[in-house]
Structure formats: structure tokens, C-alpha cells
Amino acid sequence: MNRRETLLALGAIPLLAYGEEKSPQIVRVNKTPTCGCCGLWVQHLEKAGFRTEVRDFDDLAPLKQRLGVPASLSSCHTAEVGGYFIEGHVPAADIQRLLKDRRKGKGLAVPGMPAGSPGMEVSSGRVDRYEVLLVRIDGQTEVFSTYGT
């Protein structure tokens, strides 16, 4: 067994639900065609150095289910990068940290659409308190990062 196969067997390299590992350099953003904040989040990722591939879907539910996104954490867009899902307005720095550390889990999620999160900036400068959650392999969550007051 080579090093990669060993890491896969130990769960150190998560795979996408359909069994295909993706380059951590490209973030595939799956969204609905009418969502404006999703486009702002894509701009945030690109400013942070990510390349993006945007795909529009009328219904994201089947994709979210296939990737293992818990319904309680659902947001307006679901991205895929490096074998993880990224649900909602997750800051680029957290995605970079996840890819660097290769945490064992399914992905990161920011439930809802908190004011002040990337793509949800408001002119008042208000930043709601919100958490970025790591969704573990067993579906349980743990706090990955906290933002706001």
C-alpha cells in the first residue's frame, strides 16, 4: 500500500461523496441562478486566491444530500473543494486552514446568512456573531471558528 492509499484508508484524505478527489485550487460553487450574495461570496474567494467554477441549479437539495450536508446547516450555496463541502458564507481563510490541516470531516458550514459574513456585508458595517462549523464524518459538528461580537 502506498502513502496515499494508507492516508485514504485512515480517513486522512476525505473524498467527495461520488468518490472523486478534486484539486484544492479550484472551488466548485453550486448555487441557484437568482442568488446575488452567492456571487459576492465567489468574489471573496477569488480575492483570497482561489479559482472558482460556478454552476447554477434550480434545486440544490439532491446535491446537498449526496455530499452529506445536514439539512439543519443548509444555506444558499454549496461548494466543493479538496474533497470537502463548503456550505454557505464560510470565510476563505477557514477554507484555506481546512485544506492545509486536512481535518477529518465532511466539510465546513455557516448556517443561514449572517450579516457581515463574506458575501453578506452590510453598509452599516454590522457583523453578527456566527460560527463556522466542521461537520465530522459521523455528522456531528464542532466549532471551527467564531466571528463577530
As separate numbers, helices (DSSP H) first and strands (DSSP E) second, the chain gives 4, 7
pLDDT at site 76: 85
At residue 112, what is the residue type?
Answer: G
Mean pLDDT within 120-125:
72
Whether the pLDDT of residue 35 is over 50: the answer is: yes
Tell whether pTM > 0.95: no
CA atoms within 13 A on the CB side of 142: 8
pLDDT tier at 8 (50, 70, 90 boundaries)? very low
Mean pLDDT within 49-76:
91
Give the C-alpha separation, 6 to 85, whole Å. Answer: 22
pLDDT tier at 9 (50, 70, 90 boundaries)? very low
